[in-house]
Structure 1
Amino acid sequence: MSVRITAERSKGIALLHACPLEMTGRPLPTVILFHSFGVSKEVVSFLGYMLAAAGMRCLMPEAPFHGERFDGDAVLRQRAFWNICTTYVDEAEALRDAFRPLIADPDRIGVTGTSMGGFAAIAATARYDWVAATASFMGSAYFHRSSRALFPPLGSYDVNTADAHDSAMRTIPDPSATLCRLADRPIWLWHGQRDDVVHFSNALDLQADLRAMDGAGRLEVSLDPTGSHRVTDTAARSGVAFLSRELDVGSRSS
């Protein structure tokens, strides 16, 4: 299947838009793809291509302070990690609304993402009922806990900054605080067991917490014993297959 990828703007936000060439103007099952921290939408376009080749429309928005939206201040960007991730999720709904005529079912959209994008995909699932399927690569539902080691908003987390850190994080919605919103949702988590950035235990913790509330029935966890903090070809193909199945691509795009 031939794929068309175009650079576009929606609501002032730059994005890449991938779809099967012969179905450019037709409503299709659609996936919003969130990219990793410190890179740009182009870096994850391989996933957008694969999703489009499988018969889906893929929207790849630029995150705040990234790519075309980056102002050059890398230090400020690092300390704003959690606000960036939250705003990224905020903007997803406007993107869905802007592309509504091209979405096969605007109330059933998939989300996916890598690393920071994996965090955003889980957060979007917890926030929006219209998310019908989620494929998170190297993400986590535990924002507040993760923030103590991963991009603390004050630059460090220790006995001297703990109170100020916790205060700064109170404005950041934490998906783990509303686990009921993730219960029995079609979610696929992939994590490499040699990941030295986001530990794979985050996936197992979500599985255990959802099982404790009898809500893990539609959760799938895939761990790669040799995987690092990088999406492998096998992982990418598995994530695309999961989204294709859950969005019923075969019948919707025919």
Structure 2
Amino acid sequence: MIVVKHECIKSIPLLHVVKQKEQWEKLPLIIFIHGFTSAKEHNLHYAYLLAEAGFRILLPEALYHGEREQDLTEKDLLIHFWDIVLNTINEIKIIKEFYEEEGLVKSGEIGVVGTSMGGMVTLGAMTQYEWIKVAVSLMGMPAYEKYSLWQLEQLSEQGVPLPFNEEEIEQQLATIRQYDLSLQPEKLVNRPLLFWHGKKDSLVPYPLTYQFFETIKPDYQQNPGNLAFLTDEQAGHKVSREGLIATVEWFKQHLFINDKNIVGVN
């Protein structure tokens, strides 16, 4: 049986998904970050399959989303986009340390995965935390600075007044560069990384992600099995079942779990 527990860790609401009979054991941990304007509950199908495979899954609520919403419009949320991303990166560490202190995490076996904004959070977190052993980015991209400039360009083309002046924009760019994996790909150090992206995605440009993948491929020559990119030629901004299954299989392949925990996914 899989149990889903609602918990709140230092004011961070999250869902804790795990096999009931193993909930107090040290298990490999996976933190799953939801997308922009989404909420933690929307990824429970991923969590169920991952828990069935023997992992402990935590789905935190991002700032201003779900339980933490503050009646902000989507436009207001967009203004706070990078605040949300960077805050979530910081909270990943808080969550990880709490469950380690509780004795519920198998040492060294920690993964992070996310959809859209959550994929961006995942890639940014890899610039900060060496303890992330395995990662999956679903519709995310690593080039924070380029994406921020693309967002501003889109707003301008739509005739939306920019909410920042030039000085504020430069300050924001200077901050997010510290988390921009495209500017510091050496921080990957051959850690297992899977990308899934739809070629017709209009919200997170596919080329920004694929170009980065092509750039880092030579770095993985010694460990080619640690890097993969799945392209869906027809998909827009929605992960296919193929992406779901690939996510589960990626973690089963690269995060250590006891053989007794591994089950098939149909």
- What's the TM-score once normalised by structure 1's chain length? 0.90
Q: Which aligned pairs between 1:1-254 and structure 2 lie closer than 5 A?
A: 2-74=1-73, 75-100=75-100, 101-105=103-107, 107-150=108-151, 152=152, 156=156, 164-172=168-176, 173-211=179-217, 213=219, 217=224, 218-251=226-259, 253=261
Q: How many residues are aligned here?
A: 251
Mapped to 2, the partners of 1:246 and 1:214 lie a distance apart of 15
Deviation of 1:104 (Å): 1.2
| Long gaps (5+) in structure 2 | none
Deviation at 1:175?
Answer: 1.8
Distance 2:203 2:53 in 1: 30
Q: Is the contact made by 1:79 and 1:154 (CA closer than 8 Å) also made in structure 2?
A: no
Q: 1:81 to 1:46 in 2, by over 3 A?
A: same
Tell me whether 77-86 or 112-121 shows the greater mean CA deviation: 77-86
Decide which moves more: 114-123 or 49-58: 49-58
Report if the CA contact (8 A) 1:79-1:153 is conserved: no
The alignment's C-alpha RMSD in Å is 2.5
Opposite residue 236 of structure 2, the aligned amino acid is S
Q: Retained in 2: the 8 A contact 1:140–1:202?
A: yes
Q: Which ranges in structure 1 are unaligned for 5 or more consecutive residues?
A: none
Question: Partners in 1 of 2:146 and 2:9 — Cα distance?
Answer: 33
Distance 2:156 2:169 in 1: 9
SS in 1 for 2:175: coil
Q: 2: CA distance between counterparts of 1:249 and 1:73?
A: 41
Q: Of Structure 1 and Structure 2, which has the larger fraction of its residues in helix?
A: 2
| Alpha-carbon distance between aligned partners in 1 of 2:27 and 2:219, rounded to the nearest angstrom | 34
* Deviation, structure 1 residue 249: 2.1
Matches of 1:162 and 1:66 in 2, distance apart? 28
Q: Percent identity?
A: 27
Contact 1:153–1:165 (CA under 8 A) maintained in structure 2: no
Letter in 2 for 1:66: H
